[in-house]
Amino acid sequence: MLKDIDKKIDTLIENLRKKHFNIINTESIEQAKEEVLKLINENETVGVGGSLTIRALGVIEELINRGNKVFQHWLPKTFIDEIKQARRKEIQADVFLTSTNTITLEGELVNMDTYGNRVAAMIFGPPKVIIVAGYNKIVKNIDDAFKKIREETAVKNAQRLGIEFSEQLCKVATIIYQKPDDTDITIILVNTQLGF
């Protein structure tokens, strides 16, 4: 996490708004969860990317309980074919719910994926995308973003998944410089550490 991030958050929010993202700044996980639920209508289908951040909110269970159809590939005892089908359904949902690997102070979203399903859905597919990110995802610039992803995020994810080489998780890279024209993107910033 950047030093003195609280002093830089207003600049980041201003830069993200200039790039046409909708921004909600929250102080807690509970507040972020409430904002997510407000943004998703009860009749909308929801795709959930592979994200520890989203699971930390506890929002998936709430969505299912209130009647939303939720597509997610992170389910226990799921066969490979079912996981592949779930990934396809995620990117065809009304809403895609995910995090981002990093956000630069200039307002760029930098990500690396194994399959590309998460970054594809963030850019084009679901008409509404909700990205939740803890302040720990904020970095100075694109170079720092890729450094953090390769040396921290991918390493921790590889350990979590029991994968020997973290570079196996870094097959696809994207930089979202501005909000894509046909995708409504809301970024919910959370003043805490979420995910890695």
The predicted structure's pLDDT at residue 51: 85
Q: Is residue 14 part of a domain?
A: yes
The predicted structure's pLDDT at residue 169: 80
The predicted structure's pLDDT at residue 92: 87
Q: Is residue 71 part of a domain?
A: yes
The predicted structure's pLDDT at residue 99: 95
Q: Is residue 44 part of a domain?
A: yes
Tens place of pLDDT per residue across the chain (196 aa): 566 777 789 999 999 999 999 999 999 999 999 999 999 999 999 999 888 899 899 999 999 999 999 988 766 555 566 767 777 888 889 999 999 999 999 999 999 998 888 999 999 989 999 999 999 999 999 999 999 999 888 878 778 777 777 787 888 999 999 999 999 999 999 999 988 8
Q: Which tokens is 114 given? A: 């194994």
The predicted structure's pLDDT at residue 103: 97
Q: Is residue 195 part of a domain?
A: no
As a 3-state breakdown, the chain gives helix, strand, coil percent values, each rounded to 5, of: 45, 20, 35
Q: Is residue 118 part of a domain?
A: yes
**Is-contact 126 96, C-beta < 8 A?**
yes
Q: Could you tell me the residue range of the domain that residue 109 belongs to?
A: 5-190
Tokens 């998460």, residue located? 118
Distances in whole angstroms, Cα of residue 50 to Cα of each of 3, 8, 86, 112, 125: 28, 28, 11, 12, 16
Residue 81: CB partners within 8 Å, gap ≥ 6?
none
The predicted structure's pLDDT at residue 75: 62
Q: pTM above the 0.85 mark?
A: yes
Q: Is residue 179 part of a domain?
A: yes
The predicted structure's pLDDT at residue 153: 85
Q: Is residue 196 part of a domain?
A: no
- Total domain count, the chain: 1
Q: Is residue 78 part of a domain?
A: yes
Largest CA distance in the chain: 47
For residue 72, the domain's CATH number is: 3.40.50.10420
